[in-house]
Amino acid sequence: MKDSVIRFCAASLLLACLATVPVLGQDSGPRILSVLYFANTAKVGEYDWLSRGLADMLVSDFGAAGDGSLVIVEREELEKVIKEQELGLSGLIDPATAPEIGRLLGANLLVYGSFLAVGDKLRLDGKVVRSDSGAIACVGTAEGPANSVLDLERILFARLAAGLGLGLDMASPPVQAFSLEAVRAYYRGIDRFDAGDYAAALVWFSESTRLDPLFLKPGKGIEDAYKYLKDFKRQRYRREMNALVADIDSLSARVRATRFYSFADALANPGIAGLKDAQAVGAAYQARPAIFAGDTPVQATWYLQNLFSELGGKALEYFDDGAMKTRCDDQILLWAAAAEKAYPRDPFIPEVIFKTLFVFQDRNDWAMVMSLCERLMSDYPDYRMMWAVEDAYDRALKKLEKKE
């Protein structure tokens, strides 16, 4: 299968595909949901990774639903129960064991599922059952091309979420695209990790990162694999990088948001940041100040560029990872172009342009360095870092003269 980038489905597709399913009534107590591993009905080995993969993606989606009506049991807790009870997949999806599994997980709702691969077609089936009685609460199905499995998972999630009565904002679907090959490699790594083969898991997680350096999930897997392999230095290195990636993810989402908000805006209206009150906003800032950096979209873009620069530098220094460095540099350029296009008259634009100079200097693209310097000197003569621009310009001229 060719390495391709599969985007999450658009809001219109999700809305068009929502099935008519019974809405689960609200219980008096908290609704605690666990997603069990999916069964590979046709037992096609190429798709074994979907067993844990679909469950994990659904856990992430339910966890991000954000309406506060569900408590989600993490995959690690399910894996712990499986090992303690020595359950195979057949035992895990046996309705007769549902009450006991629910009790062990502390969950009153269980998501069962299976998938059927036939040729290049894939069908996903899922249902939510009450763990105390095994009664079906709602069902969902999605089918289509196998190479669109990430889209199909989102459709299945939307159908199950509708059955649970979750109020989802379908007008704002996730915009991040991931390489399907990277996702597949990650979940193959999860299979090996859960089996205790941490060296093999590390290979798969590293391959996933190579295929898509900004796919978040493998970073934590790499960190955990190093821990079990007792390579504590590399574990620390990866932990530092994971923190940067998490900040990049949160800050970029804030810049992309339909309505940009500053830290002051969040304090005045915590809901805009998805937080309960001003105290929660303050605590979030104390824990991760970078996610609230910048009072305008262009300022926030500049801070985002700095995070990418730091991440790329650590990747190169710690792991000699030139692919990650290149990807981070590409992001610095892309975010600068986006800021210029959206806010051409913003007074902070020269800061964003200046940041791109370092990328072209690292790439020895002195013609581009010279061009950018001329733009800054011509259009922003009072820029605070003009002395550095002039130095870069002189250096570019000398480099280009030597080539001639």
Q: What's CA 198's distance to the chain center, in Å?
A: 23
**For residue 109, what is the DSSP state?**
E
- Note the pLDDT of residue 98: 67
Q: Is residue 268 part of a domain?
A: no
Residue 55 lies in a domain: yes
CATH of the domain at 142: 3.40.50.10610
Predicted confidence at residue 404, as pLDDT, reads: 66
User: Is the residue at 381 inside a domain?
Assistant: no
**Positions of the chain with pLDDT under 50:** 1-27, 91, 169-176
Q: Is residue 77 part of a domain?
A: yes
Alpha carbons within 13 angstroms on the beta-carbon side of residue 377 total 14
The answer to the question of residue 336 being in a domain is no
The answer to the question of residue 88 being in a domain is yes
Number of domains the chain contains:
1
Concatenating the DSSP letter of every residue in 203-215 gives HHHHHHHHH-TT-
With a CB cutoff of 8 Å and minimum separation 6, the contacts of 60 are none
pLDDT score of 67 = 55
Q: What is each CA distance from 72 to 30, 58, 59, 108, 275, in whole angstroms?
A: 11, 10, 7, 11, 18
Please give the pLDDT value at position 198: 97
Q: Whole domain around residue 22: which residue ranges?
A: 5-175
Q: What's the pTM value of the predicted model, to 2 decimals?
A: 0.76
The predicted-structure confidence for 241-286, as pLDDT tens digits, reads as follows 999 988 998 899 899 888 899 999 999 999 888 888 999 999 999 9
Report the mean per-residue pLDDT for the chain.
85
Residue written as token pair 């290049």: 120
Cβ atoms of residues 355 and 309 within 8 Å: yes
pLDDT of residue 15: 32
Strand (E) positions, 135-284? Answer: 136-145, 177-179
> Tokens in use for 157?
């999630």
Is residue 237 one of the residues assigned to a domain?
A: no
pLDDT in tens, 376-398: 999 999 999 999 999 999 999 99
116-128 pLDDT per residue, tens: 999 999 999 999 9
pLDDT of 79: 83
Is 303 within 8 Å of 293 (Cβ atoms)?
A: yes
Report yes or no on 108 lying in a domain. yes
